[in-house]
Structure formats: C-alpha cells, structure tokens
Amino acid sequence: MFNAQRPRLEDLPTTRQLIRATLIAAVAAGGLLATVILPSEYGVDPTGVGRALGLAQMGEIKTQLTEEAALGAAMDAAASAEQVRVAVAQAASGGNGPAAAPAPPATPNATVVRSDTTRLTLAPGEGAEIKVTAAKDARIAFNWSVEGGHVNYDTHADAPGISYHGYGKGRESTGEQGQLVAAFDGSHGWFWRNRSEAPVTITLRTEGEYGEVKRVV
C-alpha cells in the first residue's frame, strides 16, 4: 500500500495566513453581495454599481413580478373560498332541485361616467397600487404625475381566473397619461414603486366608466 508522505509543519499555512485568507474571502463575498446579488435579485443597490451594470433594473422587475404573483394568488384563493362557500350552502339546503349557479361578480355600471383625483406619498423603496373596477371595453382616461422624484410603474389588471394582464410598464418615470381600455370585467390600475432617494407624492386623475377606486397595497 502506498502511504503519502506527511507534510512538514513548515509547509503548512500559519494561523495568521489562514485568518488573512478568511478575511479576504469574507470581503470578496460581501462585495459580490452588495454589487451583484442584492441588485440583481432584490433591486437593492447600496453601492450604485448594480444600476451601472443594469443589475438593479433586473432585480426591480423580479420584485415587481413577485408582488404581482402574490396579489394574483390572493385573488385566486378568494375565488376558491367563494366556490367552497357556495357548495357548502347548497349541501346545507339538502340539494333539493337544481343547484343554483353562483352569483357572478358584480360589475360596474358602464353607463356611469365619473372622475376622481387620488394622491399618495411613498417613502424611498415603498410601493403602492391603485385600482378601479371596470367592465370590458370601458374607457378610462388617466393622468398621473410625480412630485419629488421618479418611480417605476406597472399598469395592469386582474380578475377571478386571471392573475395578471399587463397594459404597460416603465422605470424612472415622472408621470404618464393616456387612455386605458379594459380588456375584461375586473380590476384595472397602476402599481408604483419609489426609486428615488426621497419621499415622492403621486397624483392620479381618472375619468371614465368605472366603479370604486381603492388602494390595494
């Protein structure tokens, strides 16, 4: 059997060398965390290097998609709970006669035209979402502006069975205006995240055929 020769003590690294190597590895890992991992995964860019490399924008998009998926999952869970409630009510009634179909979700009166002005303030890094309920093909004129900085935005919609439908999105915007045409009966609106270094105030003006205006986030 071949036995490897044991290394000499003078060939082994000293305690000081091991500590130095460990510190260097820790500093390198911290640098990668601050300049690559945090910006690309979470949109957090403490050094500014991630934005210069385009990694911060990637992380912001991932964060937005995660938030939107969570909102969609919550809506799907609510719809499933309603279906269970209807089934339990039918069973409790003894099942006599044909089962009553669950009531369809309420839709806004498309003949009512209204206008609203909504304001909200966001701290640095904070996000918020405003939505209106509208029927399919309803037209909603909108105009929103930002005071004190800029925001990333995502204009989208959802409904039972539809977790996300995008109308448009952008980064570092100080305001947008246009007309939103509802793709289906459901909730339609805007998500903003403050990517400035100071608080911002968003003023949203809407006019058209829609129901309630509410802040979701």
Asked whether residue 102 is assigned to any structural domain, the reply reads: no
Asked whether residue 68 is assigned to any structural domain, the reply reads: yes
Compute the distance between CA of residue 114 and CA of residue 28 in angstroms, rounded to an integer: 57
Q: pTM higher than 0.85, yes or no?
A: no
Provide the number of structural domains found in the chain. 2
Indicate whether 89 and 133 sit together in one domain. no
Q: In what order do the strands lie in the sheet with 200-208?
A: 114-122, 200-208, 139-147, 175-181
| Residue that finishes a domain, picked among 26, 61, 95 | 95
Indicate whether 138 and 188 sit together in one domain. yes
State the residue range of the domain holding 156: 114-215
The CA radius of gyration of the chain, in Å to the nearest whole number, is: 27
Compute the distance between CA of residue 152 and CA of residue 141 in angstroms, rounded to an integer: 20
Q: How far apart, in Å, are the Cα atoms of 13 and each of 8, 44, 164, 194? A: 11, 38, 57, 50
- Each residue of 81-120: b (16+ CB within 10 Å) or e? eeeeeeeeeeeeeeeeeeeeeeeeeeebebeeeeeeebee
Of residues 190, 189, 204, the one with CA closest to residue 146: 204
Tokens encoding 50: 């991630």
Provide the pLDDT confidence category of residue 166 given band limits of 50, 70 and 90.
Answer: very high
The DSSP bridge pattern shows strands 175-181 and 213-215 to be: unpaired
For the domain that residue 188 is a member of, what is the CATH number? 2.60.120.380
Asked whether residue 187 is assigned to any structural domain, the reply reads: yes
Asked whether residue 156 is assigned to any structural domain, the reply reads: yes
- Each residue of 121-136: b (16+ CB within 10 Å) or e? ebeeeebbbbbbbbbe
pLDDT of residue 104: 46
Dump pLDDT digits (tens) for 169-212.
999 999 999 999 999 999 999 999 999 999 999 999 999 999 98
CB atoms near residue 66 (< 10 Å): 11
Dump pLDDT digits (tens) for 111-156.
479 999 999 999 999 999 999 999 999 999 999 999 999 999 999 9
